[in-house]
Every structure is written in C-alpha cells, then in structure tokens.
Amino acid sequence: MSFVETQTRGDIVEIRLARAPVNALNPQLCNETREAIEQAVHHGAHGIVLSGGPKVFSAGLDVPYLLSLGDQRDHLLLAWQAFFGLARTLAAAPLPVVAALGGHAPAGGCVLALCCDYRIMASGPYRIGLNETQVGLVAPEGIQRLMRRVVGAYRAERLLVGGEMVDADTALQIGLVDELVEIENVAQRGRVWLEQLLSLPRSAMLHTRQLARADLVEALRPEHIELDRFVDAWYSPDTQSALKALVAKLGK
C-alpha cells in the first residue's frame, strides 16, 4: 500500500502525503515521498506542490513507531536517515516546490515546509513550528539554520528554545509562511503561484534559485545534523520520558 498520491497537471506535479490519519513520517512515507519527487524531476516536471491531509499537513515523525524500535539503534538510525534524506531531496530539488499546508505542521512537518520554496497555509486554527524542546529533543544545528533562514536569528531563537507552535496568523506575520488561504484552496493556490514563477525565463530563474538556496542545501549536510549525537540524545532518560508522555497523551 502506497502512502503517497501524485497528480500531474501540465508541467506541475502535486505530491500528496496520504498516510492516514495524520501523515506521521515513518520510513515508508519518507522514502515514497522522496522517490515521488525524484520521479517528477526525471519525467520533466517544472514544479511540485507538496500537500498533505485536511487539517494536518504532517504531524511530524512517527513517534510511536520510533519508540517501538526500543534499543534497535540501527533501525532508529535508518528511520531518521529516511527523514533527513527526504529533507535533503526537497532542499536540493532542481525545480521549485510549494508546501501546501492544509492544516497543522509541527516538528518534522515544519521541517519539510522549511525546505520548500514557498509556504501556503490554511487560514484557521492551525499551528506550525519546531516543538522539539517540549519533548526533550534538541533540533540539530542544520534544522535551526532552516528556521533562522526564514524568520531571522532572534525570532528563531525564541521559537526554538520555547518549542513554540504558532497559529496561522502569527506564522504569516513573522514570515514562517508566505500566505494564508481557505483550506480547500491551498493546493490550487500553490499551483497558481508556481505557474506565475514558471512564466519567467526558465534558465535565469532556475540559476538564480540555485544560488539563493545554496545555504539551505548546506544546512542539511551531515556535519550540521550530527545524527549519531541526535540518536544518543534520543535515548536519554529525560527524552524517553517526555516522548512516552506525548504518546500517552495522543492515545487519550
């Protein structure tokens, strides 16, 4: 069973995360999304709209699955490698990608959005942010760079240290997302934005984009993620307690 749906409209491909109920990012979903992006590029797409489910774009990493791995460190590493592999594919994509956020985008969902060229979010009671500190995790330096790149250093510090999830209106105000639209129009608006961008002289636009996004690609290099150190921290007692409390809360 595939967790990704694709639809082609001319030169634009919409890739939709479709792992009910909240698009929790397990290795299969991450790998299938990465492969869908690579296939879109291979088949000549000029732009991609990355969307998710109604009310939740993606709830981030599949924490219950990760906890179920227990002491299987190799499997845990593979799961995180699948996620960061997807993030790197988005960041380095040779064509523009719009994040169509039809709902909440915490943690890993926010990371994927930050890797895209443009973020369109549903107006309403939806939230976005990197809430890692709330569950005892430290966002790697590379991920912190993504946030600083979009909202500025001081604002990123406040959001990251507090693990703050901001509502859609605040996200627009601080530049975390680029525009708000009605939930049913998020993907359509993404296509319209892409069509406007793709009307520009293609070579100049793509080369300029490549130069402008070099820091984004650099941020996700392995030395800025330090995955082994991140996984070590995952197994700390405080982090495990916080993660298990989160799962218990989600199960209620």
User: Which DSSP state fits 49?
Assistant: E
Angle at 40 between CA 32 and CA 58, to 5 degrees: 45
Q: How far apart are CA 252 and CA 250, in angstroms?
A: 6
Show the tokens assigned to 84.
């960061």
Of 52, 50, 49, nearest in space to 17 by CA = 52
| Strand partners for 55 | 103
49 and 204 in contact (C-beta within 8 Å)? no
Residues designated as active site: 61, 108, 131-132
Of 224, 234, 246, nearest in space to 75 by CA = 234
In degrees and rounded to multiples of 5, residue 152 shows phi and psi of 95, 160
